[in-house]
Structure 1
Amino acid sequence: MTIQKSVMVVRQSAIAAAVALACSGAQAFEFDTGESDFKIRWDNTLKYSTIYRLENPDSAQLARYVGSPAGDGDRNFKRGIASNRVDLLSEFDVVHAGNKGLRISGTGWYDDVYHHGNDNTTGLSHNLSTGSNQFNSGTRKAVGNDAKLLDAFVFLKGDIGAMPSSVRVGRHAVIYGETLMSGANGIAAAQGPVDIVKAATVPGAQVKEFLLPTNQISATFQPTDKISLGGYYQFKWEKSSFFPAGSFLSPNDVVGPGAESFLDLFHPIPATGDLTPRKGGQWGTQLRYKPDWADLELGLYAANYHDKTPSAIYTNVGMGTPIPPGPVGPVSYTRVYHQDILTYGTSASTVLGSDNVSIEASMRENVPLTGGLCPTTSLTGCGYFVNTTHLLGGPVYDNRDHPLYAVGKTSHLTLVDIHIFQPNAIMKDGGSVAVQYDWHQVN
């Protein structure tokens, strides 16, 4: 049995029928410090983008959304401008002698579309705090105007005895393994929250582009020219960055900023927040080895992590909101993030002619087997589970030792091939094409 966990549903063709235009400009400042080995650099990139929806929502598709945890991302936008956005990326680097320094980066944005009403005149919406033809404050802030700190770390490189070493402390990203374009199937899935919007909407986006920085300490050591060791410990759990509920292309309205309710067939079921893991307990380690007997680089990995996307939705059942013919019904829902998933694996990479070829195999223990969240009109199945804790005498479920969902072991395999094209009549500067194959199953 194969599984794939995702909080997203398949986007319908009507939503995808849009065109996007973008332009950008960059400006770099390098400060004169008076010392050749002391450099301070400040880079700023300003980008403007717009999205125009080519078709109105399909009426048959809108009917399918009724009673499902999706639809606002389609209902809210008729034909016309769906995004009118300005982004600023700012990067500040201080480096001394090439072996120590700091890096701070952040991004901010403004989208005029989300500061006005929307086109949803159906009266159906997952909003509780405002009408269907308005974006709620959570969505408006997340997409309309916000800022985010990305990197914020110090680093040091040097020798411990005769062993080259390096350490980073602060907000940064660490990537192990050979996964290139989709980190969900590899060791990289353990290593940090993901920008799901970028991963889903930017063609060919690589793990290094959508894995978000998190607070941690990481280090590498090279005891010999053939062996390198690495490890990290994360100080805080952070969830992945989801589509804001009701934003254009949003495939699910029960997770992400602005997610206020589950609109079932009977009445809105309000969100009660998240059941999150503990802050600590996330770590990883790797060993890389280049043998003399072959042109190979081998790797061994182990990591413990907490889920960054919802493992399940608990539909909390209680008194006061009955569903005929019974006396009880759903009173709220909770997004659940599972705690303490162990993963370990191995990898190999080499060059074969004009191809860089790699393979990564791994296993996971105590992993949720929910298969992900998807549209449903039922209170059970498809990642949704009825939680009777609110009823008198009901059992208490959690995201650790007593989950409502099944947990178990899974196996994962990733194959990556990057073919390099030499300069030719069609590609003056050459080029490359990358292919990744992922396989996984429940053990």
Structure 2
Amino acid sequence: MSDIQGFGRRFTAVSAALTFILPVCAPAIEFDGGIVNGNVDTTVSFGAISRVQGRDSSIVCIANGGTAYGCNADDGNLNYDTGMVSQVWKAISDIEVNHESGNMGAFFRVKAFMDTRNNSRTETKRTDLSKKAKQLVGEDVDVLDAYGWFRFNMADRPAEVRLGKHTLNWGESSFISGGINAINPMDFSALRAPGMELREALLPVTMVSGSVDPTNNLSVEGFYQLEWDQMMFEPTGSYFNTFDNETALHMGWGFTAENAMSVPRGADNSPDDSGQWGVAMRYFAEGMNSTEFGLYFMNYHSRTPVISGTASAGTPMAPIPPKNYFLEYPEDIQLFGASFNTNLGLWALQGEYSYKHDLPLQIDDAEFLVAGLGPVNAPNQVGTFGANDYVRGYILRDVSQLQATATRIFSDVMWAHQFVFVAEVGLTHVHGMPDKDDLRLEGSGTFASGNPLHRNLGKLSSPITESSDHFPDATSWGYQLIGEWTYANAFMGANLSPHAAFRHDVGGVSPVGWTGNFIEGSKAATVGVTATYKQAWAADISYTSFFGGGRYNLLNDRDYVAFNLKYSF
């Protein structure tokens, strides 16, 4: 009926992951005022994305000219024909201010951008971008980081405290999301933009954090957040968006116009700013092959939304859709984690395990929307509800995630000065997963109902019964491969770095609405080349293709070419 794919899809554009190993230009302007000194590091860039693939009718709503049994996932697809879909002018400045003692300072990061394609109402072909959408993908100026830090001794051991908007990176994951690194929400809209940088991936949050080294081999770190913030997903109508949730959900199984048989959106239920904290402990075991071990705990509120609703006041003779739906962010998810980082011969190895207690997982939207028909008591697997009753659209389950990464630098590969290879594999397991005959969770592209009883709901009858194979499984897994060749002084003093990336979701379907890491059979590949000159200029051109997974991979017709040019000073 709808799809909540946009709520948590991993780094689908594997080209974004390539920034993990590609060269970074790093000159800066320094200043020294005696007591205070510091530097300003600015990068200005222009980037563009061009769509090179036509629409796949199997993921476009029937009422919009396609064959899909859902109209809640195609606005972004319909808005952009082949050709240019994004042209971004951007500037990012990092400002460091330090006291001459070296014991205190401040850090600020400011970002400004304008997408000349998306900042105009006339550029989208079908649905105008809202004011909120334009702020995410059209034009904005924002202060990302803004914090002060102070270093001191605690019982003659080094310690540091930070206060303000900043990020913390915990765990050992490089590319696959949904693990230990849950402190800061991610900005998926920034990750998709041409010329993105890793420093844009995490959204800074106001918090106090601190660390201390009780011994030379042991460190302890902790944080307490002073505000809650959510993941930033591609807004409705933008090129990579796959969930049209801004104002209403459509219940017509794709046959009727989107303004008919729709459920209006109500006020979102956001969590408290308080109650989010965590601690981490890392131990460097020199006698165990110089391995670093980490243990983690945190209590946090969901960054990704789930959909719930209010039952209708319909009657058995006059059923109407639910009164409304709204987004919820359940509180007090507890995360337990462990990690390692070591070397084995010429390979750098790292890995982590995370266990999330009471993680909210989205119920198949067709199931809970039918449950919201209220007094009609339509057959469903969620429950029986009266007029205006709250209909919870999610279940709470414990979820484990295991992932490991291997990195190696080779010499003289294909005549390159060096070749960097990174491989990461991840596995997600939902403990106590309901049997699909009893209840199904939301899966990518599952527009029709998986409940055979929904074939007999009159005007609301599901046209088909969706195969249970495409709803989320208890276990799902996949991997990513990244490679970069570096040719030093290849052309007029410039370094050339061809690069390639490949992602494969091997088995199982992950629940949508949290990370949605894996959709069985889905693949993505990126090839490109980066040129850097004098550590100041960088240019990159790449091609990204999405394929596999059939109509359940909602990006399989979104192949694109990206270009960006950067100058740092």
Bin the TM-score by the shorter chain: 0.7 to 0.9
Alignment partner of 1:314 is 2:308: yes
The residue number in structure 1 matching 2:549 is: none
Distance verdict in 2 for CA 1:74–1:95, change over 3 Å: same
The residue number in structure 2 matching 1:441 is: 429
Distance verdict in 2 for CA 1:351–1:11, change over 3 Å: closer
* Post-superposition offset of 1:297: 1.2
Within 2, Cα distance between the matches of 1:213 and 1:425? 40
* Post-superposition offset of 1:213: 1.0
Residue 362 of structure 2 contacts residue 393 of structure 2 at CA under 8 Å; is this kept in 1? no
The residue number in structure 2 matching 1:73 is: 76
Paired amino acid for 1:351: N
Residue 349 of structure 2 contacts residue 405 of structure 2 at CA under 8 Å; is this kept in 1? yes
Residue 283 of structure 2 contacts residue 292 of structure 2 at CA under 8 Å; is this kept in 1? yes
Alignment partner of 1:260 is 2:243: no
Alignment partner of 1:54 is 2:52: yes
Alignment partner of 1:426 is 2:419: no
Alignment partner of 1:145 is 2:107: no
SS of residue in 2 equivalent to 1:219: strand
Structure 1 residues 387-425: Cα deviation after superposition (integer angstroms, max 9, x where no partner): 869x8665446xxxxx54221222221111111224666
Paired amino acid for 1:262: L
* Post-superposition offset of 1:237: 0.6
The residue number in structure 1 matching 2:488 is: none
The residue number in structure 1 matching 2:40 is: 42
Alignment partner of 1:243 is 2:238: no
SS of residue in 2 equivalent to 1:273: coil
Residue 313 of structure 1 contacts residue 385 of structure 1 at CA under 8 Å; is this kept in 2? no
Residue 311 of structure 2 contacts residue 390 of structure 2 at CA under 8 Å; is this kept in 1? no
Paired amino acid for 1:309: T
Percent identity of the aligned residues? 26
Within 2, Cα distance between the matches of 1:359 and 1:11? 18
Residue 41 of structure 2 contacts residue 95 of structure 2 at CA under 8 Å; is this kept in 1? yes
Residue 184 of structure 2 contacts residue 203 of structure 2 at CA under 8 Å; is this kept in 1? yes
The residue number in structure 1 matching 2:268 is: 274
Alignment partner of 1:230 is 2:235: no
Residue 251 of structure 2 contacts residue 262 of structure 2 at CA under 8 Å; is this kept in 1? yes
Within 1, Cα distance between the matches of 2:131 and 2:5? 29
Within 1, Cα distance between the matches of 2:422 and 2:145? 28
Within 2, Cα distance between the matches of 1:75 and 1:292? 57
Within 2, Cα distance between the matches of 1:163 and 1:316? 55
* Post-superposition offset of 1:44: 2.3
1:284 to 260, 271, 278: 278
SS of residue in 2 equivalent to 1:252: coil
Paired amino acid for 1:235: L
* Post-superposition offset of 1:142: 2.7
Structure 1 residues 317-356: Cα deviation after superposition (integer angstroms, max 9, x where no partner): 323xx69953332232201111110011222221111111
Distance verdict in 2 for CA 1:413–1:76, change over 3 Å: same
Distance verdict in 2 for CA 1:42–1:316, change over 3 Å: same
Distance verdict in 2 for CA 1:198–1:438, change over 3 Å: farther
Residue 355 of structure 1 contacts residue 419 of structure 1 at CA under 8 Å; is this kept in 2? yes
The residue number in structure 2 matching 1:127 is: none
Alignment partner of 1:182 is 2:180: no
Residue 283 of structure 2 contacts residue 293 of structure 2 at CA under 8 Å; is this kept in 1? yes
Q: Which runs of 4+ in 1 moved over 6 A?
A: 9-13, 24-27, 201-206
Q: Which structure is higher in RCO with an 8 Å CA cutoff and minimum separation 6?
A: 2
Within 1, Cα distance between the matches of 2:217 and 2:71? 54
Residue 51 of structure 1 contacts residue 83 of structure 1 at CA under 8 Å; is this kept in 2? yes
- When the two structures are aligned, how many residues end up with a matched partner? 395
- Residue range with higher mean Cα deviation, 196-205 or 169-178: 196-205
1:195 to 166, 187, 195: 187
The residue number in structure 2 matching 1:354 is: 346
Within 1, Cα distance between the matches of 2:11 and 2:93? 32
- Residue range with higher mean Cα deviation, 298-307 or 288-297: 288-297
The residue number in structure 1 matching 2:7 is: 7
The normalised TM-score by structure 2 is: 0.63
Paired amino acid for 2:224: Y
Distance verdict in 2 for CA 1:366–1:119, change over 3 Å: closer
Distance verdict in 2 for CA 1:385–1:249, change over 3 Å: farther
1:294 to 271, 281, 288: 288
Distance verdict in 2 for CA 1:409–1:327, change over 3 Å: same
Structure 1 residues 31-88: Cα deviation after superposition (integer angstroms, max 9, x where no partner): 341x3x7323223222111222234434454224563321110111122321122112
The residue number in structure 1 matching 2:357 is: 365
Within 1, Cα distance between the matches of 2:39 and 2:125? 46
Distance verdict in 2 for CA 1:43–1:368, change over 3 Å: same
